[in-house]
Structure 1
Amino acid sequence: MLTVRNLELHYGGIAALRGISIDVQKGETVLLVGANGAGKSSLINAVIGLVASSQGVMSFNGKDITRASCDARARAGIGYSPEGRRVFPTMSVRDNVLSGACRRGAVLQRDAWQWLCGIFPLLSERSEHPAGQLSGGQQQVVAIARAMASSPKLLLLDEPFLGLAPVWIARISEAIRHMQSRGTTILMTEQMARPALKLATRGYVVRGGEIRRSGSIEEIREVALAEEYL
């Protein structure tokens, strides 16, 4: 579904990614694991189109998206939940979530809202509250629900467990499993390897902007857990 080949990304004179190549097959959950500053978020930002790569090629469902706009990638079926939640603080919870389904029409938006409230009861309980007044864990639920609202073919999750208490890690994990049961393909980054390893089917260990190890979860587990403490 997603193919990235020899991707390089620079911020000024600093190389954030060096020759990165990954594959994500339909129906997989693929984990990018590494310490803070390893280049995981830079790769996600390049895939969604927030930053331009200096070299390399990306394709999605067989189509070259290397120079496509963020909007075009979203319309192609790539959903995105950013690191640090980034909800619209003054907008209601409901409006935040449905902003992710703004092109789907009133009926599909209503269906998406009802479906997501079934997964996250918090959404209906706080539907009219400004999202900025929620706790960090609650805001993460809103951010992920917003990404899910468009029913993406590929869901990008950037550090979904960052700074969350165990109870919220469990709830977010359950939501990810729900998306997996629907056949959604997921590419997620995470520094907290332990909960992420329970969800993924394959993974890549990223360090210094390069892929240092790849393979099945069992093949990368030891190295991934070591990265968690770097």
Structure 2
Amino acid sequence: MLEISHLRYDVAAEDGGELGILRDVSLTVGDGKLVVITGPNGGGKTTLARTIMGLNQPTGGSIRWNGTDITDMSITERARAGVSYGFQQPPRFKGLKVKDLIALAAGKEDLTPAEGCQYLTQVGLCADDYIDREVDASLSGGEVKRIEIATILARKAGLMIFDEPEAGIDLWSFAKLTETFEAIHKRGESTLLIISHQERIIQLADEIVVIEKGEVAKCGPREEIFPQIMARTLPGCGYMKEADR
């Protein structure tokens, strides 16, 4: 279980004061749940995800994972505790092949062709075309994004955080990703926290959290919150986005 209590994250303002990016955020995510965090751009969604992973150090509040206070833990310590994170813009690793990256994530010295195929197919990539390629500038942003998600799947973390996983990928691959998230959720082996504006991902959620102006504006079951979101969404507004066509 993920328990976030009165979490704050402040940055220095131009006037010399402090600007609250996260303002007293409290949230509980149950074991095996698929929770989607959505809301207007600039509301604090990514900051919240990065703070859970330890990429940002909060200025107040606490984060507990499976009963352990991880607020002051390093990124490495959180990863060892079973927390994983998928970036909006994943890093590239010149000289490192896809198979090596997935093997590292899986904690293995080597990766069999079958294992490589298993993880890459889940994110819409053909193992024969990608397993021996380097994770460098020759890959598109969408390809690197899918490879990163494959490493998260290989890690089999207890808490998987995905920051806008639909960004930069084609419609067919997006369909494969939604199938993957649904399959992970059905197995019940991991808790999923997904930041997304995408309606088809939101529809997979057990619960929806709406973050606005650094605060939890709404939180509850999908059946309750989704109609409220749709009622607020006007044609052309950026509250939710369709996948690239």
TM-score, length-scaled by structure 2: 0.84
Q: Which residue of 1 aligns with 2:229?
A: 224
* Match for residue 74 of structure 2 among 45, 48, 69: 69
Please, which runs of 5 or more residues in structure 1 have no aligned partner? Answer: none
SS of the equivalent of 1:36 reads coil
Q: Runs of at least 4 residues of structure 1 off by over 3 A?
A: 109-115, 222-228
Q: Residue deviations 1:47-84, cap 9 Å, x none?
A: 11011000001100011111111111100111111112
RMSD value, Cα: 2.1
Find out whether 1:160 has 2:160 as its counterpart.
no
Answer yes or no: is the 8 Å Cα contact 1:80–1:155 preserved in 2.
yes
Deviation string 1:113-132 (CA, Å, 9 cap, x unpaired) is: 35314534523421112233
Aligned partner of 1:155: which letter?
A: M
Matched with 2:62 is: 57
Q: Which has the larger radius of gyration?
A: 2
| Cα distance, 1:90–1:222 mapped onto 2, change above 3 Å | farther
Q: Which protein has the bigger helix share?
A: 1
Matches within 5 A, 1:118-157: 118-120=121-123, 121-131=125-135, 132-157=137-162
CA distance in 2, matches of 1:216, 1:116: 30
Shift of 1:89: 4.9
Q: Which has the higher contact order (CA 8 A, sep 6+)?
A: 1
Q: CA 1:10/1:98 → structure 2, altered by over 3 Å: closer, same or farther?
A: farther
Among 197, 210, 222, the alignment partner of 2:215 is: 210
Query: Structure 1 residues 36, 98: closer, same or farther in 2, change over 3 A?
Result: farther
In structure 2, distance between residues paired with 1:171 and 1:84: 19
Distance 1:75 1:105, change over 3 A: same
Q: Tell me, yes or no, if structure 1 residue 17 matches structure 2 residue 1.
A: no
Q: For the Cα contact (< 8 Å) 1:32–1:203, is it kept in 2?
A: yes
Matched with 1:27 is 32
Q: Secondary structure at the match of 1:50?
A: coil
- Secondary structure of the residue aligned to 1:142 is helix
Q: Which runs of 5+ in 2 are unaligned?
A: 13-17, 240-245
Q: Does 1:186 align with 2:192?
A: yes
Q: Count the aligned residue pairs.
A: 226
Q: What is the CA deviation profile of residues 23-62 of structure 1, one whole-angstrom value per residue up to 9, with x for unaligned ones?
A: 1111100111012211011011111101100000110001
